[in-house]
Structures are given as C-alpha cells and as structure tokens.
C-alpha cells in the first residue's frame, strides 16, 4: 500500500510546517488541533508562509491556491481515519502522546502507518501504545520545517523493514534528505549537538573564555553559521536542559549532563531569545548584548 493521504496531529510550530510541506508535495492533508482557534491559527501561519513564497516569486498564486486547497483542518480525531500515514507533532509529553496514539489505533485501519516527530521520547515506547508496533516509526523534522532539508527517519527493533522503506521514500517526496537512524535518545543530530552545546557552557563556566569569544571561535574558526551560545539562546535553554536530562538518563554519560550554570539560568527564567534573556540580552533584538553571568 502506498502513502496517498496524510494526517498531521498538532498544528503548532512543527505540525504546521509538516502539513505545509506535505501539501506542497501534492498530498491531501488533514490537520488536527485541539480547538477551532488553534486549527485556524495553524492554518493562518501556513497561509502566511505560502504568501511569502508568492511575494518572493517562488510560488505562483494558482499553486498557492492548490496547496491551500489540499489542507483541511479539524478538531475531530475521527477525521484522520482515511489517512495512510499519520504524523504526530503534539506537545512533548508522554501521557498526551499515549492518549492520542491509543485512540488513533482504534480509529485508523490496520494498514495506516504512524510516525512521531518527538525529539526526546522513545519511539519504541510509543509504539507499545498501539497494536501496530511494526507500522510505527519516527519522522524527526527540523525547525523551520519548510526550510530545513533534513529529516531523521527512525526505526525501532519492531519496525517492519517494508514500512521503513515506504516512509524513507515518502520523506524523499517531501523534498527532504532522509537519514536512517535507530531509536536512541537524540537520534543523530541531538546526539552530536547537545554535548557540544553543553561543553560551550562548561567552557564559559570554567572561565576559559567569554561568551563572545566562544561564539566567535566557532563561527570564525570552524565556519559555523552561529556560535554555540547564540544557538542555545535560539533553541531555548529550557528545551535544551530538558533534552540533556533525558539524554543523561538514557546514557549515564557526563557529557550529556546539564552544567550547573545552565540549570541556574533555566531556574531564573532566562530561557534565551523567547524570554528576552539568555547568554545574551535581547532588549534590542537586532543587537544582542552578552550577559554578565559571574
């Protein structure tokens, strides 16, 4: 069976991007949110993105209308029952995901494939909430979804290889480069990125270098588009702290342990760009100023 119609659950930051790229790739998409307002908010953000593409001359108005016509919002989980693939991008909380997957499992036909966009939870554990662990994978997109080319495709020890291949093909049809990985917390990108970012905090904490010098070192010495502390402010200190704790719990290795300074900043509510303060002060967002943290 091939994937012809897709469902997306959650139309926040990630879900709206996933729904957009699937509709752009020609798939009819049903998007489910918890309230009519959130359905509307999610669809509006997609419309805004498509309008920007039209303005820049990267999309015709006729194509925009066709793409928009392929997207249908709903608050009713039953409306997902005709989808061949369901991609979940709801809040990162296991009880919420458990409730969703077990209800979808009873609603959707046995042939439907389930995929989670989780960043830190176990795909294997989520598969146990259903009677179809062989048809359960991870599809980990990156933010912003329409721009970032990568998707990590995660198989568990129970995933049917044919299902896995089908999902890899689907990811390619979305115009993404799919990489294959297994169900280990952090997959590939966060497994490599999180210890690097945490080490940058440790370098600062130990007084090896200043915030600006750490960031400039990796930008100018290694050609990174931004330094690790700027990146941490972008991702969110709270999100990184949460993921680091889960990774430390999984691997019990010091390199995944959040440094005390990161914990203190999270406790203080300095979560980065979104709260106006992190390693930099964003009072003037165009000119972030390094914070004094000692």
Ligand X SMILES: NC(=O)c1ccc[n+]([C@@H]2O[C@H](COP(=O)([O-])OP(=O)(O)OC[C@H]3O[C@@H](n4cnc5c(N)ncnc54)[C@H](O)[C@@H]3O)[C@@H](O)[C@H]2O)c1
| Catalytic residue (choose from 119, 122, 166, 271) | 119
Among 3, 13, 188, 293, binds ligand X (CB under 6 A): 13
Strands (DSSP E) contained in the chain are 6-9, 29-32, 71-74, 85-88, 113-116, 136-141, 150-155, 177-182, 280-281, 289-290
CB under 8 A, 24+ apart: contacts of 285-294: 288/230, 288/233, 290/210, 290/211, 290/212, 291/211, 293/204, 293/211, 293/261, 293/265, 294/207
Q: Which residue has the tokens 């494939």?
A: 113
Among 91, 226, 267, 283, binds ligand X (CB under 6 A): 91
CB of 45 to ligand X, least distance (A): 10
Known active-site residue 190: yes
Among 32, 70, 155, 273, binds ligand X (CB under 6 A): 32
CB of 85 to ligand X, least distance (A): 16
Q: What pairs with residue 110 in β-bridges?
A: none
CB of 6 to ligand X, least distance (A): 15
CB of 278 to ligand X, least distance (A): 16
The CA distance from 172 to 82, in Å, is 22
- Cα–Cα distances (Å) from 7 to 20, 96, 206, 239, in that order, read 12, 17, 48, 26
**Residues in region 104-133 near ligand X by CB under 6 A:** 117-119
| Catalytic residue (choose from 88, 116, 122, 152) | 152
Contact track, ligand X, 179-218, x by CB under 6 A: ----------------------------------------
The CA distance from 191 to 63, in Å, is 38
Known active-site residue 292: no
Among 54, 96, 179, 293, binds ligand X (CB under 6 A): 96
Known active-site residue 152: yes
Q: Are 61 and 54 contacting, i.e. CB atoms less than 8 angstroms apart?
A: yes
Decide: is 19 part of the binding site for ligand X (CB under 6 A).
Answer: no
Give me the helices (H) in 161-236, please: 161-173, 189-205, 211-222, 228-235
| Catalytic residue (choose from 33, 88, 116, 140) | 140
**Residues in region 34-53 near ligand X by CB under 6 A:** 34, 38
> Number of C-alpha atoms within 13 angstroms, CB side, residue 281?
6
Total residues contacting ligand X by CB under 6 A comes to 23
Among 80, 90, 178, 194, binds ligand X (CB under 6 A): 90
Pairing type for strands 29-32 and 71-74 reads parallel
Among 6, 100, 126, 218, binds ligand X (CB under 6 A): 100
Q: Which stretch binds ligand X (CB under 6 A): 12-20, 181-189, 220-228, 276-284?
A: 12-20
Among 33, 166, 183, 233, binds ligand X (CB under 6 A): 33
| Nearer to ligand X (CB atom), residue 34 or residue 209 | 34
Token representation of residue 8 = 């997306």
* Residues within the interface to ligand X (CB under 6 A): 9-15, 32-34, 38, 89-92, 96, 100, 117-119, 140-141, 143
Q: Indicate which residues carry an active-site annotation.
A: 119, 140, 152, 190
């Amino acid at each position: 069976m091939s994937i012809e119609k897709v469902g997306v659950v959650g139309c926040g930051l990630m879900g709206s991007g996933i729904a957009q790229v699937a509709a752009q790739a020609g798939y009819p998409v049903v998007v489910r949110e918890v309230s009519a307002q959130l359905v509307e908010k999610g669809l509006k953000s997609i419309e805004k993105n498509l309008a920007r593409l039209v303005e820049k001359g990267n999309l015709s108005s006729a194509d925009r209308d066709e793409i928009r016509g392929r997207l249908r919002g709903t608050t009713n989980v039953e409306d997902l029952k005709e989808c061949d693939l369901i991609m979940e991008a709801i809040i990162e909380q296991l009880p919420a995901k458990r409730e969703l997957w077990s209800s979808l499992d009873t609603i959707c036909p046995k042939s439907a494939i389930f995929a989670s966009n989780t960043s830190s939870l176990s795909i294997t554990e989520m598969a146990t909430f259903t009677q179809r662990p062989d048809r359960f994978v991870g599809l980990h997109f990156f933010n912003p979804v329409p721009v970032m080319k990568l998707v990590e495709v995660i198989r568990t020890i129970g995933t049917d290889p044919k299902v896995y291949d089908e999902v890899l093909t689907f990811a390619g049809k979305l115009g993404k480069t799919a990489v294959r990985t297994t169900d280990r917390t952090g997959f590939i990108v966060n497994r490599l990125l999180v210890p690097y970012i945490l080490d940058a905090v440790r370098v600062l904490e130990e007084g090896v270098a200043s915030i600006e010098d750490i960031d400039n070192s990796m930008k100018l010495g290694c050609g990174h588009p931004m330094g690790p502390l700027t990146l941490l402010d972008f991702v969110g200190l709270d999100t990184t702290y949460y993921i680091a704790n889960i990774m430390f719990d999984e691997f019990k290795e010091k390199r995944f342990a959040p440094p005390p300074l990161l914990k203190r900043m999270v406790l203080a509510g300095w979560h980065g760009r979104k709260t106006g303060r992190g390693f930099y002060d964003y009072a003037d967002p165009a000119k972030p100023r390094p914070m004094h943290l000692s």
